[in-house]
Chains A and B, each alone.
Chain A
Amino acid sequence: MRLAIVTLLVAGACAHRPTETICAGTAWTDLTTRQATPAMPQVVAKPDVTIGSVEVRGVDPELATSLRGALETRPGIRLADAPLRHDLAALYQLGVVDTAHVEVDGGTVAFVVTLEPTVGRVVHGELHERLRWLTGTPFEARRVQRMAEAIERNLVADGHLDAQIAVRRAARSGSVVDLCVASRPGPRVAIGNVTFVGARALTPAALLHEFKDAADVNHPGGRYDEDALATDLLYVSAAYWERGMLNVKVGEPKLSRRGAKLDIAIPITEGPVFQLGSITAPLGFPAAVGLRSGELATRSKLTTANNAMQAAIGEGANVYIRTAVDLDRKRIDISWEVQWRSPWDAVAFWHSRLF
């Protein structure tokens, strides 16, 4: 979601990943991930040949033994293209092989492989300490890309909403790949205005006061935190519920950029103020709930009343408050549902009440 917002905000910019600084020069090329199923070379298998031996060449003996374990080609079977192509695919799927081909010499079938190159230098300025752990490990393009995306996410979460990370590679030799990670963090975007469109019963300051974040999050001058804002908006709704506006609608925040400022507009439809209508307590509890018909209906009153009802009934049952909203008369009727844990609990309760 955050990345989607960033993409929208910097529309068009993402096509140009940052490469103009430390990754400049012709040696650096795009980081490309190998296709999942590499194109298979045509195997020239001769019919009517029985395989005498199967070898894996190009790697040390222990690894060759393991790689041979992934093959279906075995001594004693007929030489054919399809199984060889299947085995080449199986070798690639292990994730350690960079190239593989088959050589057939009489009854000997050899799978000749080269291993993935290792990562040599990682040029990354002062971006991210963890990138250094790539050095010396086999080059996995997808892993490198994933680490770069994590860095980008961290920058975005820290307020650099336009952050872009680009990774480029350069082959130093056949078995070593150097990496260059270029960053364009962009400005740290601070929140400009936070407005509550449609709010009348509560002032903007009062509504902003409902935000429970620290002053540097989702407040003017602070950084934007989408998840925290979603929680803040629940508190905004709760503030209205305390004023009897039980049908308030707090809409999806609209974000707009002004340079390094991010304005947040929160649409609010306050709705009517509700009074309590009929109050139907369970049999035997007319006075336990403390609610009066005609008074302002607020969330805390309903919660307090429900807790009082639960306390009065005890642990033998769970009580649930039920509401019926009359939008025309702006009233809310209250009743309770009592769910006894067992008939014996109900009997024990009434026995204690009556005797």
Chain B
Amino acid sequence: MEVAVGRRRVLALALVLNAGCVHRAPALFGERIPRACAGRAGKSERCIGWIRDRTMLATAVRAYPDAELAAYVSAVGARVVSATGDRTGGWTFRVLDDPSPQANANPGRVIYVDRGAIALVRDEAELAGLLGHEIAHELAGHAHMGLVDGDVPATRTAEDERDDEIQADELGIQFAARAGYDPRGLERALRALATVAPESGEGEDAHHPAWPIRFAHVEAVAARLPATGAHDDRVLRRLLPRVVVGLDPRHQAIVGRAVVFAELGLAVDFPFALDSDVTRLAEQAVQVELSSQVAVDLRVLPDAVARYITEDNELAVTRHRARGQTLVISGVGDHARVHMIGAAVRAVRPDELAQIHPRFVDLTVPRALATE
């Protein structure tokens, strides 16, 4: 329950900041709002995308700190975009520091690829297929459904969303093939995804089709295209071993009775063993249950965002700033205990840092093993 409250708060915060900044302030999270997005023009697809992207980057996601990998993914994405015939420009490809094997299209020509998805691919055709899928979502208008005037989200059913996924697969294959990649690349990537997310597509309310249906569609499209496509995988295979697999312990890790935020140089001591009391909320957030009624969130946020989280009747908050970021410790229910935890923050010790080892993609073993 406390988790849900916390998440809603962050979302509400983002929405409030969105609304506030569009109408009253010239900047959003420190970046100037484009003049074209002022007033009613702000409802355009590009502007909604810009606002969403800035809000996501400030509050919910962060870029994976590998400039060469980011440039490489952008180059592959640009090659696929050029094959679509789209000349509107302004495409942005972001590699996110998130272990989930996902990619997403944001309105306004912004494509997000989690490092967890990159860790799964083994050749450039697979990456091109994944990017083609997201590019297709954007070009076909799926990415902005429900966000822009005129598209009525209530009319979209789970079945519609599953069909959007199939259409994005079909177009993604074509785009990648036109860019010179093997049309079977997306299928290989999807089969790899299926090994780590076999439950995707199960149930009538699923937003993605069941894997057998998806495979049949991508094979049916790929079979109609020439099975050629030359690409050089050397760059990708050089970059892949630098990609972290799973949660990055440098963001947050459990060491003994402490939650350690190595990048911030901070640690929080708890008076009990943490193993069964910790839930990982995200890459930089954990929740520790103090009792069945009380839990605290330990969340790393940019300073500019953290200051918006205020203590009120429901939420006890303490903050610890370090290296341009803020560790926010918040909890619902028992203020005294939450504040006590907040007071237990200290500098991380060298012996704790010595126990933190991220795991990277291993190209010498099958990918299901290398990325699980």
Measured CB to CB, the residues of A under 8 A from B are: 2, 59-60, 62-63, 66-67, 69-70, 93-96, 115-116, 118, 130, 133, 136-138, 140, 142-143, 146, 149-150, 153-154, 157-158, 214, 315, 318, 341
Q: Digit string of B122-151 for contact with A (CB within 8 Å is 1, else 0)?
A: 000000000000001001110000000111
A59's contact among B155, B166, B170, B223, by CB below 8 Å, is which?
B223
A115–B170 Cα distance when bound, in Å, is 14
A96's contact among B151, B216, B312, by CB below 8 Å, is which?
B216
A136–B217 Cα distance when bound, in Å, is 13
Closest to A154 in B: B150
Closest to B157 in A: A146
Given contacts A70-B212, A136-B174, contact A63 B151 (CB under 8 A): no
Contacts of B184 in A (CB 8 A): 62
Closest to A317 in B: B313
Closest to B85 in A: A132
12 other contacts beyond A62-B223, A133-B136, with CB at 8 A cut-off?
A60-B223, A63-B220, A70-B212, A95-B166, A116-B220, A118-B224, A137-B170, A143-B163, A143-B167, A150-B151, A153-B155, A214-B40
B152 in the interface (beta carbon within 8 A)? yes
Q: Are A140 and B163 in contact (CB under 8 A)?
A: yes
B305 in the interface (beta carbon within 8 A)? no
* Nearest chain A CB to B1 CB, angstrom units: 17
B160 in the interface (beta carbon within 8 A)? yes
* Nearest chain A CB to B296 CB, angstrom units: 17
Question: 28 A-B contacts, Cβ less than 8 Å apart?
Answer: A2-B152, A59-B220, A59-B223, A60-B223, A62-B219, A62-B222, A62-B223, A63-B216, A63-B219, A66-B215, A66-B219, A67-B216, A93-B213, A95-B166, A95-B213, A95-B217, A96-B217, A130-B139, A130-B140, A130-B141, A137-B170, A138-B221, A142-B163, A146-B160, A150-B141, A157-B149, A214-B40, A315-B312
Q: Are B150 and A96 in contact (CB under 8 A)?
A: no
Q: Are B216 and A137 in contact (CB under 8 A)?
A: no
Closest to A133 in B: B140
Q: Are B216 and A146 in contact (CB under 8 A)?
A: no
A95–B159 Cα distance when bound, in Å, is 13
Our count of residue pairs bridging A and B at CB distance below 8 angstroms stands at 80
Given contacts A59-B220, A66-B212, contact A133 B139 (CB under 8 A): yes
Contacts of A70 in B (CB 8 A): 212, 216
A30–B184 Cα distance when bound, in Å, is 34
Contacts of A63 in B (CB 8 A): 216, 219-220, 223
Given contacts A153-B150, A157-B149, A318-B313, contact A69 B223 (CB under 8 A): no
* Nearest chain B CB to A129 CB, angstrom units: 9
Contacts of A95 in B (CB 8 A): 166, 213, 216-217
B22 in the interface (beta carbon within 8 A)? no
B220's contact among A2, A138, A150, A214, by CB below 8 Å, is which?
A138
A212–B44 Cα distance when bound, in Å, is 20
A158–B43 Cα distance when bound, in Å, is 14
Most chain A beta-carbon neighbours within 10 Å: one of B163, B174, B222, B313: B313
Most chain B beta-carbon neighbours within 10 Å: one of A94, A140, A214: A94
* Nearest chain A CB to B157 CB, angstrom units: 10
Closest to B215 in A: A66
Q: Are B219 and A146 in contact (CB under 8 A)?
A: no
B345 in the interface (beta carbon within 8 A)? no
* Nearest chain A CB to B184 CB, angstrom units: 8
Q: Digit string of B172-184 for contact with A (CB within 8 Å is 1, else 0)?
A: 0010000000001
B171 in the interface (beta carbon within 8 A)? yes
Number of chain B interface residues as a range: 20 to 34
Given contacts A130-B140, A318-B313, contact A157 B216 (CB under 8 A): no
Contacts of A146 in B (CB 8 A): 160, 163
* Nearest chain B CB to A4 CB, angstrom units: 12
A138–B221 Cα distance when bound, in Å, is 8
Q: Are A138 and B170 in contact (CB under 8 A)?
A: yes
A138–B171 Cα distance when bound, in Å, is 10
Interface residues in B1-59 by Cβ distance below 8 A to A read 40
A138's contact among B213, B215, B217, by CB below 8 Å, is which?
B217
Given contacts A137-B221, A315-B313, contact A66 B163 (CB under 8 A): no
Contacts of A2 in B (CB 8 A): 152
* Nearest chain B CB to A319 CB, angstrom units: 11
Contacts of B155 in A (CB 8 A): 149, 153
* Nearest chain A CB to B89 CB, angstrom units: 15
A341–B315 Cα distance when bound, in Å, is 12
A133–B213 Cα distance when bound, in Å, is 21
A2–B151 Cα distance when bound, in Å, is 12
A130–B212 Cα distance when bound, in Å, is 28
Top 7 A-B residue pairs of the complex, sorted by shortest distance between their CB atoms: A154-B150, A60-B223, A157-B150, A63-B219, A96-B220, A94-B216, A137-B170
A341–B313 Cα distance when bound, in Å, is 8
Closest to B149 in A: A157
A341–B312 Cα distance when bound, in Å, is 12
* Nearest chain A CB to B315 CB, angstrom units: 11
* Nearest chain A CB to B193 CB, angstrom units: 16
A63–B313 Cα distance when bound, in Å, is 60
A136–B173 Cα distance when bound, in Å, is 11
Most chain B beta-carbon neighbours within 10 Å: one of A150, A153, A318: A150
* Nearest chain A CB to B342 CB, angstrom units: 17
A153's contact among B152, B160, B221, B224, by CB below 8 Å, is which?
B152
Closest to A96 in B: B220
* Nearest chain B CB to A48 CB, angstrom units: 32
Interface residues in B168-223 by Cβ distance below 8 A to A read 170-171, 174, 184, 212-213, 215-217, 219-223
* Nearest chain A CB to B323 CB, angstrom units: 32
B171's contact among A116, A118, A133, A318, by CB below 8 Å, is which?
A133
Most chain A beta-carbon neighbours within 10 Å: one of B136, B151, B223: B223
Contacts of B171 in A (CB 8 A): 133, 137
Contacts of B141 in A (CB 8 A): 130, 150
Contacts of A130 in B (CB 8 A): 139-141
A43–B184 Cα distance when bound, in Å, is 34
Closest to B152 in A: A153
A6–B151 Cα distance when bound, in Å, is 16
Q: Digit string of B233-245 for contact with A (CB within 8 Å is 1, else 0)?
A: 0000000000000
* Nearest chain A CB to B137 CB, angstrom units: 11
